[in-house]
Amino acid sequence: MRSTIARANFVSLLVLGVLILALGWLAAFAERPLSSLPFALHVSLGVLAGALLLAQIVLRLAVPPPALPARWSKGRRCCAAFCEFAIYLSLVLLVATGALWGYFGGAPLQVFGFPLPVSTAADPRLADLSGPAAAQALGLAGVTASEALLMVHRLLAVIFAVSVALYLALGGFTRFRQEAPPPEAPRLAPALIEPSPTQGLSSRLRLFGWLQFWPQLAIALASGVLLQFSTSGRAFSPSQSGYGDAIYWSFCAFLLLCAATALAFFYTRAARSVARPDYLGVRKVTAFWFLSLGLLIGLAGVVLSFVGLSLSVSLLVAKTVSQPPGIAITDPNKIIRALDVFILLVNFALLLGHFIGVAIAAWLTSEATRTRYRFAVATPPQESRA
């Protein structure tokens, strides 16, 4: 009973954490982030997530979770354990940095309509807390404590999102499922064993799944870090928001890239099922649904990242043309900032990652169509003999 409660609480914590991240991103795009409805829900659900996290830690100590499946490789077990540890650690630090930000910032916060006490302490400089030498070494000499905590809080949010995506892609929840031992396959004579038409497709799925997974994972991690710097810089130097902002499209393309990366790992896991001789006979219509989904996600990601890249390039060109030579620029909106370059790099990297996914998904879909045709041609003679 307690293990079921711990499992349900862990799933609720993950779902609530993803919802809180989405609300935080929506609040960052609002004109007045601190007074928007997504920010109020972000704070309220963050307090609820802190309570669930405390309960989950107590349940984890009282009822240890089942061990990872022994059939997994050693590297997969280590990655799943590390992702679970990163989820817990990032959640703890997210709650801590959020609470410290509310204390140092002195902003009026509410939890489900109930106002929290506002701190009267002024927002100090980071150099006053950590020392001038440490702040100078980190390049944060002129940054206040609340600004530094906000940057760390958003970086931890990216780490939490990547850890959850990898944990789901690795199949971490299968450790809670009781699987019956597979029945022993009947031993057939060597003359009766026929090669499976899906055997070659299975090997290609495994190979190209890894070829898509690792580049997209590297691009997703790099894009997440660049998005963190971009959103932090946008909070300190706001500009236009909404559909005309390139960072809006890059964030949507980043979410699709995370989904495409998890689906690429699923290709390698699905290769075992595809290798069975009766796979196409049991699943005639939905045999290769994951390839169609991967192609759809890749095409949507290409469109979104291309729109973001076009907006970034047009913004840089407009700012460059509007700068008169030899005259000091007094309008800050006409200055090319590092934020604009970061967003351009993010959209270019996301476009490259989605292009890799579309190319591999399209080629695997054509191979799956050929395999389905060969299976359909070979099936009627077998049925007539029966």
Residue pair 228/155 in contact (Cβ under 8 Å)? The answer is yes
Whether residues 18 and 85 share a domain: the answer is: yes
Q: pLDDT by residue (tens digit) across 273-315? A: 888 877 776 656 677 888 999 999 999 999 999 998 998 888 8
Whether residues 251 and 296 share a domain: the answer is: yes
Whether residues 204 and 171 share a domain: the answer is: no
How many Å is the maximal CA-CA distance in the chain?
Answer: 88
What is the tally of structural domains in the chain? Answer: 2
Q: Residue 72 domain-assigned?
A: yes
Query: Helix, strand or coil for residue 300?
Result: helix
Task: Read off the pTM.
Answer: 0.53
Whether residues 161 and 281 share a domain: the answer is: no
Mean pLDDT of 201-206: 86
For residue 383, what pLDDT band results from cuts at 50, 70 and 90? very low
Q: pLDDT by residue (tens digit) across 36-92? A: 788 888 888 888 888 888 877 777 777 666 677 677 778 888 888 888 888 888 888
Mean pLDDT of 242-254: 79
Q: Residue 190 domain-assigned?
A: no
| Count of Cβ atoms closer than 10 Å to residue 310 Cβ | 13
Q: Residue 128 domain-assigned?
A: no
Residue pair 274/191 in contact (Cβ under 8 Å)? The answer is no
Q: Residue 185 domain-assigned?
A: no
Q: Residue 253 domain-assigned?
A: yes
| Tokens representing residue 84 in the block | 């679970």
| Count of Cβ atoms closer than 10 Å to residue 264 Cβ | 26
For residue 385, what pLDDT band results from cuts at 50, 70 and 90? very low
Find the domain containing 84 and state its range: 1-119+153-175
Whether residues 163 and 274 share a domain: the answer is: no
| Tokens representing residue 158 in the block | 């990216």
Q: Residue 139 domain-assigned?
A: no
